[in-house]
Structure 1
Amino acid sequence: MRYFKEFEVRWSDLDANRHLGNSSFINFMSHTRMAYLIEMGFDHKTLAKNEVGPVVFYEHMYYFKEVFPGKPIRVSLDVMGMSEDGMFFEFHHNF
């Protein structure tokens, strides 16, 4: 299943070279994951009630193109796998 979230690139998302900074990529991926989980019924209230929450164990990126301000970016989320007990997920993102 592929999920998409669109964002406006803000001034605070840019680095000194005026393109998307490394930490902004991470933040957009995190926001996309949480938006997906909320749409699947795992909102903050439900997570708190069940005393669970998403934890990132491993994250890495490959940069294929620069992102500049002036037009929205679209971040995809693909669910690549899940453990049998549903405790672990693997997500892939593309910009």
Structure 2
Amino acid sequence: MKQHIYYEGQVLWAQLDPNMHLRHSAYADFCAQARSNMMTRVGLSLEEFARYHIGPILFREELTYHREIGLDERIYVQVEMTKLNLQNFRFSFRHEIYKENGVKAATVEIDGAWLDLQKRKLTIIPDAWHSIFEIIPKADDYVEIAG
């Protein structure tokens, strides 16, 4: 089951809500870190984004809770691409957050695109990145849109 894991860590006290379980925004933080780690591993580091003045932008982030996560629990986050539009390179990713015992605690799905950081407008990826998108982990239900 542990495949495409891009973040593992312990839940900290500062990440809890008043009910003593993981606060909702911490799930998004874990997923953002996992996505960043995955992008770095495939060759899209922060330095590479800066080189082209491009950054990711999210349009939708949806969280489904499956099991409660509490203080000091260890979690890991799996990331896989679920959709890619080859014409404009808009993307979708699914993140699955698991407890150390392998129980799925949450699913987070996001949709996004690329932002030209100078023009502050949506853009396509540079040609140099096309081969990188071929090696990003794909979900079993991955869909590629040609145009």
Give 1:75 shift. Answer: 1.0
- Structure 2 letter corresponding to 1:58: R
**Structure 1: 5+ residue stretches without partners:** none
Tell me the secondary structure at the aligned position of residue 18 of structure 1.
Answer: coil
RMSD: 1.3
Percentage identity across aligned positions? Answer: 26
- 1:22 equivalent among 8, 21, 24: 24
Corresponding residue to 1:67 among 66, 69, 79: 69
| Alignment-mate amino acid for residue 38 of structure 2 | Y
Q: Which amino acid counterpart does residue 16 of structure 1 have in structure 2? A: P
Unaligned runs of 5+ in 2: 98-147
Instruction: Measure the CA separation in 2 of the matches of 1:54 and 1:90.
Output: 11
TM-score (norm 1): 0.91
- State which structure, 1 or 2, has the greater radius of gyration over its C-alpha atoms: 2
| Per-residue deviation, 1:81 | 1.6
Runs of 4+ more than 6 Å apart: none
Equivalence for 1:3: 4
Q: Partner of 1:38: helix, strand, or coil? A: helix
Shift of 1:22: 0.3
Corresponding pairs, count: 94
Pairing 1:1-95 to 2, within 5 Å after superposition: 2-4=3-5, 5-85=7-87, 87-95=89-97
- TM-score when normalising by structure 2: 0.60
CA drift at 1:86: 6.1
- Aligned partner of residue 45 in structure 1, secondary structure: helix
- Highest relative contact order (Cα 8 Å, sep 6+), 1 or 2? 1
- Residue identity opposite 1:8 in structure 2: Q
Structure having the larger proportion of residues in strand: 2
